[in-house]
Homo-oligomer: A and B are copies of this chain.
Amino acid sequence: MVMRLRQQDPDFDARFSALLAMKREVSDDVNAAVAEIIDAVRKRGDEALAEYSLRFDRLDLATTGLAVTSAEIDAAFASIDPETLQALELAHERIARHHARQMPADDFYEDALGVQLGSRWTAIEAVGLYVPGGLASYPSSVLMNAVPARVAGVERIVMTVPCPDGALNPLVLAAARVAGVSEIYRVGGAQAIAALAYGTETIRPVAKIMGPGNAYVAAAKKQVFGTVGIDMIAGPSEVLVLADADNNPDWIAADLLAQAEHDTAAQAILMTDSAELGDAVERAVESQLTTLPRGEVARQSWRDYGAVIEVENFADAVPLVNRLAAEHLELAVADPDALLPLIRNAGAIFIGAHTPEVIGDYVGGSNHVLPTARSARFSSGLSVLDYVKRSSVLRLDAAQLRELGPAAIRLARAEGLDAHARSVAIRMNLPD
Residues of A in contact with B (beta carbons under 8 Å apart)? 83-84, 86-88, 90-91, 94, 97-98, 101-102, 104, 107, 109, 111, 115-117, 119-120, 122, 124-125, 135, 138-140, 171, 207-208, 226, 228-229, 233, 250-251, 254-255, 257-258, 260-262, 288, 291-294, 298, 322, 340, 343-367, 371, 373, 375-381, 383, 385, 389-398, 400-401, 404-408, 410-412, 414-424, 426-427, 432
Contact of A261 among B254, B345, B418 (CB under 8 A): B418
- Contacts A/B (CB < 8 Å), 24 sampled: A84-B410, A115-B364, A122-B345, A124-B378, A140-B415, A171-B415, A208-B377, A257-B422, A258-B420, A288-B419, A294-B416, A345-B389, A348-B391, A349-B394, A355-B401, A356-B401, A358-B423, A358-B424, A359-B394, A360-B394, A362-B408, A363-B407, A364-B394, A366-B394
CA distance A432 to B117 in the complex (A): 58
Residue of B nearest to A349 (CB): B393
CA distance A413 to B359 in the complex (A): 13
CA distance A357 to B139 in the complex (A): 46
Contact of A419 among B292, B376, B379, B423 (CB under 8 A): B292
B226 near A412 (CB under 8 angstroms)? no
Return A373 CB to nearest CB of chain B, in Å. 7
B344 near A122 (CB under 8 angstroms)? yes
**Residues of chain B with a CB closer than 8 A to A400's CB:** 354
Return A428 CB to nearest CB of chain B, in Å. 10
Return A348 CB to nearest CB of chain B, in Å. 4
B107 near A101 (CB under 8 angstroms)? yes
